[in-house]
Amino acid sequence: MGETAAASGGARLHVAMLTLQLGYAGFHVVSRLALDMGVSKLVFPVYRNLIALFLLAPFAYFLEKKERPAMTARLAAQFFFLALCGITANQGFYLLGLQHTSPTFASAIQNSVPAITFAMAAALRIEPLNLSSRHGLAKLSGTLLSVAGASLITLFKGPQIHTLSSSTAAVAGEGNNNNSNWGMGCVYLMGHCVAWSGWLVMQAPVLRRYPARLTVTSYTCLFGLLQFLAIAAFAERDAAAWAVSSRSELLAVLYAGFVASGVAFAVQTWCIHRGGPVFVAVIIGAVLIVAGLYLVLWGKSQERAEASAAAAIADQQQQPSASAAAAADDDDSCLKQPLLLPTSTAGSENV
């Protein structure tokens, strides 16, 4: 019975992580589309965490009444730093890095999350690591080799080659290729990975002292929302940026709030409580490989579509000019021809 229960619990854990990563994979595409539509990088996470809070708070209040400890100043400080690391820094650095690089690179660099998480958890003695045993060496080498191999496969794709005109390449490209902006984007994305890893590691000791998982997630979303609102009050002065002007923007915000934050945060917290932060990070890295390869194929298809559209527009612009030039040539030939008399008239005059 014990082995059956353990196997059932492990199966539920893996199914939950698979569901979590499917939601995150869709979020890579949704966030890129939201930025392309002009959604503010500060307004987007505010709405995202507001929706997640409204989704999680009722369940946390009614389902965890008996197991929720009393709030203390120490717990409030821990929730504040959880939000600062896991929501404000994590989401903020991700959107900044995504703006300056590309979805493919952002997905690829996230493969470093398992290694960073493992290093943090081992340093803080949250993840047991005995290097004198075969199990410890296998755990260390397996984690590092899997992350290194995944990063090599995803990152080593050669230099970017543009065969289109400069304007078309700017439209068809996945991101801003300016060296300074690209470098800043890499720095932002590394900050995002460190913040994400730190958030995974910090949740483990908090959940041991505060077992109400939905309440922990709700408080994290609340403090993250307050932090983003404070930043937006100073950095986002345009009132029009807070308006959701299209159905596509609304769907992107709803997906980010319900799936990528509300459901994903709750499932991730439950998985950390059951499997530990390193388990969650390794599963995240594995699915991010698939998401990164999908984004490569998606970017290539979009590039080809943009090239075909640009070629069609160029052909349409050339056709009227060619017709006008042909008409002008006909007019010139008519004017240059001598005026000949009709044959009958010419014959009568000769007679």
Instruction: Write the pLDDT tens digit of every residue in 272-329.
Output: 666 666 556 655 555 555 555 555 556 556 667 777 787 888 777 776 655 555 555 5
Per-residue confidence at 219, pLDDT binned at 50, 70, 90?
A: very high
- The pLDDT tens digits for 151-203 are 664 555 444 434 333 344 444 444 444 556 877 888 898 899 899 889 988 98
pLDDT at residue number 220: 93
With beta carbons less than 8 A apart as the criterion, state whether 52 and 162 touch: no
Range name among 90-99, 144-153, 246-255 with the lowest pLDDT average: 144-153
pLDDT of residue 268: 72
Residue 241 per-residue DSSP state: G
Cα–Cα distance for residue pair 98/117, rounded to 1 Å: 21
Torsion, Cα of 271, 277, 279, 283 (10° steps)? 80
Judged by average pLDDT, the poorest of 46-55, 117-126, 331-340 is 331-340
pLDDT-derived band at 19 (thresholds 50, 70, 90) equals low
Most distant pair of Cα atoms in the chain: their distance: 127
Lowest mean pLDDT among 130-134, 218-222, 278-282, 346-350: 346-350
| Summary mean pLDDT of the chain | 74
Q: What is the pLDDT of residues 76-126, one digit of tens each?
A: 999 999 999 999 999 999 999 888 877 777 777 777 787 788 888 888 877
Q: Provide the 3-class DSSP secondary structure of residue 39.
A: coil
Higher-confidence residue of 97 and 138: namely 97
- The CA-atom distances, in angstroms, between 216 and each of 15, 23, 213, 274, 278 are 22, 21, 5, 15, 19
Interatomic CA distance for residues 105 and 99, integer angstroms: 11
Domain ranges of the chain: 14-314
Q: What's this model's pTM, rounded to 2 decimal places? A: 0.68
Q: Which two tokens stand for residue 213?
A: 């998982």
Length of the chain (residues): 351
pLDDT at 323 (0 to 100) = 59
pLDDT surpassing 70 at residue 47: yes
Q: Provide the pLDDT for residue 163.
A: 38
